[in-house]
Structure 1
Amino acid sequence: MTLTSYQFKPENITTGIVHIGVGNFHRAHEQYYTNLILEEKDQQNWGICGVCLLPSDEHIVKNLRSQNLDYTLTVCGRDGKDEVYKIGSLRELIWGIEDPQAVVDKIAESDIKIITLTITEGGYNLDKETHEFNLNDEKIKHDLENPSQPSTVFGFVAEGLRQRKNRDNGSITILSCDNLQHNGDTTKKAFAAFIEAQDKDLAEWVRSNVTFPNSMVDRITPATTPQDVERLNKKSGIDDKAPVYCEDFVQWVIEDNFIAGRPNWEKAGVEFTDDVTEFENMKLSLLNASHMLLSYPSFLKGHRKVDQAMQDRSIVKFIRDYMDIDITPYVPAPKNTDLDVYKQTLIERFANHSVSDQVSRLCFDGISKLPVYVIPNLIKMINDDKDLTRVAFLFASYRHYLKYKVDDNGHSFDVAEPWLTEKDIELISSDHTLDFLDLSSFKSTDLKSSDKFVSLYTNFAAEIKNKGAGETLESIL
């Protein structure tokens, strides 16, 4: 294990970026890249001011503040060797619950040139069926009517931009770092809809003064348990209340569309491009979709850690067949990318014991993730009359997971699906297997119109109920 500490002087760093959502992934990804470029004297105006907006953020805020916002990042190699980085790029931290005005003032500052976001796939408040911004959400309605008392990310950013405009503090870029296809377009759609409904003058200013680049992010970063904190600190020899650990693979591809300037992140390995489409299609279709394929069948078979699932021959073959047979035809390889190497690397990454995640975390919020990661290619497969076996089995597994909440070994479990509607819950409870395909986020794709898909899905749902997910999976390999 090697320890690398930053060499710049924190007092020389000024903040040029506001980041909303200071979670583990952000601290293993954007902070990692930024920490590296701050070593360059001409880049020291790109420190990050973190912003936390949730009551549940109190713990991380207090822990980071107790150690001057520094923390350790342990990068776990597939070869079993770890590298520890002391990260110093987080220079300020504001908790919106404690000081909402400070968030607004920070966004309005002329030195801030970029707002970055990790607010999760479900955090953009788009209706699951219409894909339009939901203006009827109670918190959104509050923020629309009370601009100076924001509570949501949309309210805070709008008020900050309004103050920025009023003070003539210049243009700014809003950069999503969330796992969404065309995440910049999604961000623009969500914020523009909110601002248009709240303040038409500000909406006009935003059209000319704010850019929303698309980006593709990748680095497996598990949640950190109290046991992990103890283990990581023992390894590093540092008493860190907020350590993070992640895999050794890291990728960030960004559309180069920054209206007010940007850091030289390319010196730390970030790839800038005119169009991220092929990169994000590759990642969402292969990595994220494969995580979905892994999640519910593995959980129903009784696996609770991802690396444990990857020791199961049937799970590995299921994922690899999905990648090779079902998805590769729909993934044009980006420039300088070998797709076979990428797929093999994914299998190795999933099997990395050092960063093994909980399978339950992969299962979390499937109703938001399946329409993004799996359904776009499923629609293409249906239209091209392809083999739908593996995807139909996934949907049947997901239904069983939500409806019966018991695995092949008879162990019951709770599910975490924060975005299910009351109607969704009724459909899941129904004994009519096909009702499940009318869930809010599937309905617009009309999966029931494919006789082939319906037949496979219905049969698998019955087989999983009668024989279990494991035996059913064996029958299709």
Structure 2
Amino acid sequence: MQNPLYLNIENVGALQNRALIPAFDRDKIKTSIAHIGISNFHRAHQAYYMHELIENHDEFNFGICGIDLLDADRKIYNVLKDQDGLYCLMVKDANGSHQIKVIGSIVEYFFGPENPMAVIERLAHPDIEIISLTIAEDGYHLNEITGEFDQENPVVAEDMRNPFYPKTVFGYLMQAFKLRKFRGLAGCTILSCDNIKGNGDTMKASFFNYVNKMEPELLPWLKENTTFPNSMVDRITPLTRPEDIETLKNDFLIEDQWPVVCEPFANWVIEDNFFHGRPQWEKVGVQFVEHIEFYDKMKLQLLNAGHTLLGILGTLHGYKTVGEAANDEDFMYFLKTFMDAEVIPVLDKAEVHLVENYKSTLIARFKNPYIYDSLSRICDESSAKVPIFILPTVRTQLSKDKVIDRAAFVIAAWCTYYDGLDDQGKTYKISDSISNVLIRRATQSQQNPIRFLEIESVFGDLKSSPIFVEKYVRYLNYIRTRTIKECIKDFNSGLL
């Protein structure tokens, strides 16, 4: 009987009968991409695409240097060191088949808190032509109310006091570009891969505002030597569970400390605005466009909004995963009608065929029972997600005097979510940077329903819309007297 083999460069060749292993010589790879934030999503998405390009098209000029900047990221840094940058991508199909692929595109790795100057030097190296990022919404340090870069954030002040031990991604980038300028080197492309509308534009504005505060004399050079293409990224990638690690060990005889689970579907659309050259990602299915707005909007307001909807409603019912909620006919009918009646009308009518195809694949993706995507993950930091994923649909529909009933229902349900108890009588964890405010306002809403809508950092001036407020209050009162399942059934039947 074979024993499990530990995943590293020494053992990878012996895994060829257990998994798909890299069919290329990693020693030939030149590192030209520095990626900040080695998240599960990055490893299932950008690193996957780069692996496919190396393996199938001999693109050896754009290996990835993985960089983590947060103390909380020490574990993944240590895992990558131990495993020589290798990890298993577990692609789980809805039919129950699992494909195990060892990804080999990450060939270097740095940890900022351990040696910030080493990270700055690597980012400043002339070989680095693209600096990409998955740093999540809070990594951009945006003001909750204005959406602009928050110059008064405490970590920004800390960067000012200790510029060579930065706490923000902007501090690392600024020091790296100062070195490039001093050494007479060119700049590079900064490519955001985060779920933020206009992520490249947001990164550019935030970084330039940071530099303007810290080193304004660097700005003219930056404007001439950097580009910030917007991108749309799409692949459902849940948290890795202990069960996934055990499955690899017991069923595939591979010991991987931190594999990544994902669905078969993957999509990436990028504005073709690179400062230097770029990988020929189009050879592996990446779409390059002149403008990203349509794709951005479609993904955020269908997939991410759909996830958020299922997360809130499913949690209230007592479900634990997206798959459970999506395979409930009542919940799915509500989601489909939300998409058809409220989201699709705000999207580009000239691209209706793309929208319909995307919606159809999306529903099937949500239903995949093998992607254990926890609703708690979906609901984490909802105060940052709802304004991006759901409220733009509400505002556009209101401006056109169109339907907003389902969105108003979801917001009312979101208010009751902060009561902290599902319809099975069980509590669930609430994780949000402003959870104290959300819970307090939800409690106050039992006496005055409008109190929840008065959280300006989330809702802006939405409380001044009589149409929205009337529907929200009606649904909130209804939800508070019945189970969420009863409410959805009544809504779907036209009784609510």
What's the TM-score bracket when you normalise by the shorter of the two chains? over 0.9
Work out whether 1:56 is the aligned partner of 2:72. Answer: yes
- 1:18-417 superposed matches below 5 A: 18-39=34-55, 43-332=59-348, 338-402=354-418, 404-417=419-432
Task: State the 1:425 CA deviation.
Answer: 5.4
Is the contact between residue 18 and residue 253 of structure 2 (CA under 8 Å) also seen in structure 1?
A: no
TM-score, length-normalised on structure 2? Answer: 0.92
Kindly provide the amino acid, as one letter, of the partner of residue 430 in structure 1: Q
**Cα distance in 1 for residues equivalent to 2:254 and 2:376:** 30
Task: State the 1:348 CA deviation.
Answer: 0.6
Work out whether 1:9 is the aligned partner of 2:25. Answer: yes
Kindly provide the amino acid, as one letter, of the partner of residue 35 in structure 1: H
Q: Please say which of residues 231-240 and 31-40 is displaced more in the overlay.
A: 231-240
Task: State the 1:370 CA deviation.
Answer: 0.9
- C-alpha deviations, 1:218-272, integer Å up to 9, x for none? 0000100122111133343322112111000000000000011111111111111
Q: Residue 478 of structure 2 is aligned with which of 457, 463, 471?
A: 463
Two-structure CA RMSD over aligned residues (Å): 1.8
Task: State the 1:468 CA deviation.
Answer: 2.5
Kindly provide the amino acid, as one letter, of the partner of residue 69 in structure 1: G
Kindly provide the amino acid, as one letter, of the partner of residue 409 in structure 1: Q
Task: State the 1:149 CA deviation.
Answer: 2.0
- C-alpha deviations, 1:413-437, integer Å up to 9, x for none? 220002x186555434424210111
- C-alpha deviations, 1:323-342, integer Å up to 9, x for none? 11111111226769533222
**Cα distance in 2 for residues equivalent to 1:164 and 1:302:** 53
**Cα distance in 2 for residues equivalent to 1:180 and 1:256:** 18
- C-alpha deviations, 1:83-102, integer Å up to 9, x for none? 22111100011111111111
Is the contact between residue 145 and residue 198 of structure 1 (CA under 8 Å) also seen in structure 2?
A: no
- Unpaired runs of 5+ residues, structure 1, are none
Q: Please say which of residues 244-253 and 224-233 is displaced more in the overlay.
A: 224-233
**Cα distance in 2 for residues equivalent to 1:38 and 1:160:** 27
Provide the secondary structure at the position in 2 that maps to 1:39: helix
Kindly provide the amino acid, as one letter, of the partner of residue 256 in structure 1: D
Q: Residue 450 of structure 1 is aligned with which of 449, 465, 469?
A: 465
Kindly provide the amino acid, as one letter, of the partner of residue 161 in structure 1: F
**Cα distance in 2 for residues equivalent to 1:5 and 1:434:** 56
* Paired position in structure 1 for 2:441: 427
1:398/1:18 Cα in 2 relative to 1: closer, same or farther (>3 Å)?
same
Is the contact between residue 203 and residue 228 of structure 2 (CA under 8 Å) also seen in structure 1?
A: yes
Task: State the 1:51 CA deviation.
Answer: 0.6
Is the contact between residue 416 and residue 442 of structure 2 (CA under 8 Å) also seen in structure 1?
A: no
TM-score, length-normalised on structure 1? Answer: 0.95
**Cα distance in 2 for residues equivalent to 1:141 and 1:340:** 47
**Cα distance in 1 for residues equivalent to 2:351 and 2:343:** 18
Provide the secondary structure at the position in 1 that maps to 2:164: coil
**Cα distance in 1 for residues equivalent to 2:287 and 2:385:** 25
- Unpaired runs of 5+ residues, structure 2, are 1-16
Q: Please say which of residues 44-53 and 451-460 is displaced more in the overlay.
A: 451-460
Provide the secondary structure at the position in 1 that maps to 2:65: strand
Q: Please say which of residues 186-195 and 117-126 is displaced more in the overlay.
A: 117-126
Task: State the 1:195 CA deviation.
Answer: 0.8
Is the contact between residue 368 and residue 441 of structure 1 (CA under 8 Å) also seen in structure 2?
A: no
Provide the secondary structure at the position in 2 that maps to 1:16: strand
Kindly provide the amino acid, as one letter, of the partner of residue 207 in structure 2: F
Kindly provide the amino acid, as one letter, of the partner of residue 143 in structure 2: D
Is the contact between residue 282 and residue 333 of structure 1 (CA under 8 Å) also seen in structure 2?
A: no
1:267/1:13 Cα in 2 relative to 1: closer, same or farther (>3 Å)?
same
**Cα distance in 2 for residues equivalent to 1:208 and 1:424:** 43
Is the contact between residue 177 and residue 187 of structure 2 (CA under 8 Å) also seen in structure 1?
A: no
Kindly provide the amino acid, as one letter, of the partner of residue 466 in structure 1: T
Alignment size in residue pairs: 474
Provide the secondary structure at the position in 1 that maps to 2:370: helix
Task: State the 1:387 CA deviation.
Answer: 2.2
Task: State the 1:440 CA deviation.
Answer: 3.3
1:43/1:355 Cα in 2 relative to 1: closer, same or farther (>3 Å)?
same
Is the contact between residue 144 and residue 194 of structure 1 (CA under 8 Å) also seen in structure 2?
A: no
Kindly provide the amino acid, as one letter, of the partner of residue 258 in structure 1: F
Task: State the 1:78 CA deviation.
Answer: 2.6
Kindly provide the amino acid, as one letter, of the partner of residue 320 in structure 1: K
Provide the secondary structure at the position in 1 that maps to 2:131: strand
- C-alpha deviations, 1:128-160, integer Å up to 9, x for none? 211111111111111133322212111111111
**Cα distance in 1 for residues equivalent to 2:73 and 2:462:** 39
Q: Please say which of residues 317-326 and 463-472 is displaced more in the overlay.
A: 463-472
Is the contact between residue 121 and residue 180 of structure 1 (CA under 8 Å) also seen in structure 2?
A: yes
Share of identical aligned residues, percent? Answer: 38
Is the contact between residue 285 and residue 331 of structure 1 (CA under 8 Å) also seen in structure 2?
A: no
